[in-house]
């Protein structure tokens, strides 16, 4: 594949007989902000550690610019890691923390001083050279950890849940900071998180993982709007995931009612999974709906109302709307054809949903 910087090929890894990564193949492009996203134990941090050289795979190879670096130690790789626990040296001031890696490389004092000034300016902490780490807030310490990584001029920055310890407002501020840094520095970011919103906000590409497999790779828009299976749909945002029957191309039956859709190629009278996002469910007058139901739950969320609408078969539809329908209101349910996403039912529970083509 053109312009790939890192290529993980057929990577497998077990710990104590437990398979953590199972024949994983992944390309990472130059200057990409790629996020590994998934629940705890899905293999995302192990993948990051294999790229960083902290863990060796049992099988498979890691290529960096076409060269095999599978067994190369971390300090010889053109990358730096920022961990959730910032790992600043508490007995050193900020200047000494940032200079640490450069001193080991034998850089001149002038070079180091210039780099410290540049890095602190980049993370908006000019003038903090003489401060001690324990006098800084969590967000400031995280910025120093990033500054320390940046001065080594890595081609790749690995970030392992770096914002996990910060409060919500600070986390959101740091998300914008990281996007700005990535654009200014022109380096590749590989980011690990279990926070879907964080992944959608920051990434060029999201890799959704579960049980050691890649479930889907795509842009945030593609992952959100066109999930490849029920796991991805359920993990990325709220969804109505419904057992349905594909009657024929562009026609699906949901709870006995026929909905027009845009999907083709699923065959006739075939059981499928249907995904409909809450904001795509339109509540209309009862007689105008394709299905009918009753509003059974209502919460005001600030930007929209979140409602549950129960249909006669007992299914509770999750609906987001700027219009309020009080509890007890009888409503019709309508969904535009292109807002209905059809997916094949998996053959088995842990069926791999996506294969990366070579």
Please tell us whether the domain made up of 4-225 is placed in CATH 2.30.330.10. Answer: no
Whether the per-residue pLDDT at 2 is higher than 60: the answer is: no
pLDDT of residue 347: 64
Q: Are strands 305-310 and 291-300 parallel, antiparallel or unpaired?
A: antiparallel
Tell me which fold the domain 238-344 belongs to: OB fold (Dihydrolipoamide Acetyltransferase, E2P) (2.40.50)
Q: What are the C-alpha distances in Å from 241 to residues 89, 277, 334, 343?
A: 48, 9, 16, 10
Q: What are the C-alpha distances in Å from 175 to residues 147, 203, 333?
A: 15, 10, 37
Angstrom distance (rounded) from CA 277 to CA 309: 14
Q: Over the stretch 258-273, which tens digit does the pLDDT of each residue have? A: 999 999 999 999 999 9
pLDDT bin (cut points 50, 70, 90) of residue 355 is very low
Whether the per-residue pLDDT at 53 is higher than 90: the answer is: yes
DSSP labels, 52-89:
HTSS--SEEEEEETTEE-TT--GGGSSEEEE-SS----
* Assigned token pair, 263: 């999907």
Cα 231 → chain centroid: 14
- Those residues whose C-beta lies under 8 Å from the C-beta of residue 298, and which sit 6 or more positions away, are 305, 306, 307, 308, 324, 325, 326, 327
pLDDT of residue 356: 42
The DSSP bridge partners found for residue 331 are 293
Q: Over the stretch 326-349, which tens digit does the pLDDT of each residue have? A: 999 999 999 999 999 999 887 655
Q: Give the residue, 143 or 60, on which the prediction is more confident.
A: 60
H/E run at residue 177: helix 168-185
* Assigned token pair, 159: 């970030």
20-31: string of b/e by CB count within 10 Å (b at 16+)?
Answer: bbbbbebbbeee
Q: At which residue do the structure tokens 């312009």 appear? A: 3
What average pLDDT does the segment 55-66 reach?
Answer: 96
Lowest mean pLDDT among 97-111, 168-182, 228-242: 168-182
- Those residues whose C-beta lies under 8 Å from the C-beta of residue 190, and which sit 6 or more positions away, are 6, 28, 34, 35, 36, 48, 51, 156, 157, 158, 159
Q: Are strands 4-15 and 18-29 parallel, antiparallel or unpaired?
A: antiparallel
pLDDT bin (cut points 50, 70, 90) of residue 172 is confident
- What residue segments make up the domains of the chain, in order of their start? 4-225, 238-344
Angstrom distance (rounded) from CA 153 to CA 97: 16
């Amino acid at each position: 594949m053109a312009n790939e910087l890192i290529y993980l090929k057929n990577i497998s890894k077990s710990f104590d007989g437990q398979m953590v990564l199972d024949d994983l193949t992944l390309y990472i492009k130059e200057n990409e902000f790629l996020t590994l996203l998934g629940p705890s134990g899905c293999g995302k941090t192990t993948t990051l550690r294999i790229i960083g050289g902290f863990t060796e795979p049992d099988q498979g190879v890691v290529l960096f610019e076409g060269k095999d670096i599978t067994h190369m130690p971390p300090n010889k790789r053109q990358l730096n890691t920022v961990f959730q626990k910032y790992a600043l040296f508490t007995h050193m001031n900020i200047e000494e923390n940032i200079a640490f890696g450069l001193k080991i490389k034998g850089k001149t004092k002038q070079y180091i001083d210039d780099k410290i000034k540049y890095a602190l300016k980049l993370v908006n902490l000019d003038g903090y050279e003489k401060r001690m780490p324990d006098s800084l807030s969590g967000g400031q310490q995280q910025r120093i950890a990033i500054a320390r990584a940046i001065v080594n001029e890595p081609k790749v920055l690995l970030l392992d849940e770096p914002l996990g310890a910060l409060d919500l407002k600070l986390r959101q501020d740091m998300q914008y900071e990281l996007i700005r840094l990535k654009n200014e520095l022109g380096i590749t970011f590989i980011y690990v998180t279990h926070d879907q919103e964080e992944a959608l906000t920051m990434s060029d590409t999201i890799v959704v993982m579960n049980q050691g497999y890649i479930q889907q790779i795509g842009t945030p828009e593609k992952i959100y709007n066109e999930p490849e299976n029920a796991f991805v749909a359920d993990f990325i945002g709220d969804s109505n995931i419904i057992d349905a029957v594909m009657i024929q191309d562009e026609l699906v039956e949901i709870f006995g009612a026929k909905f027009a859709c845009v999907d083709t190629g699923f065959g006739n009278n075939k059981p499928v999974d249907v995904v409909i996002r809450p904001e795509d469910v339109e509540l209309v007058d009862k007689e105008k709906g394709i299905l009918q139901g009753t509003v059974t739950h209502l919460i005001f969320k600030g930007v929209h109302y979140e409602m549950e609408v129960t249909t006669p078969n007992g299914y509770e539809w999750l609906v987001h709307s700027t219009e309020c329908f009080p509890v007890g209101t009888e409503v019709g349910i309508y969904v535009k054809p292109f807002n209905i996403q059809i997916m094949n039912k998996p053959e088995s529970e842990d069926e791999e949903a996506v294969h990366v083509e070579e």
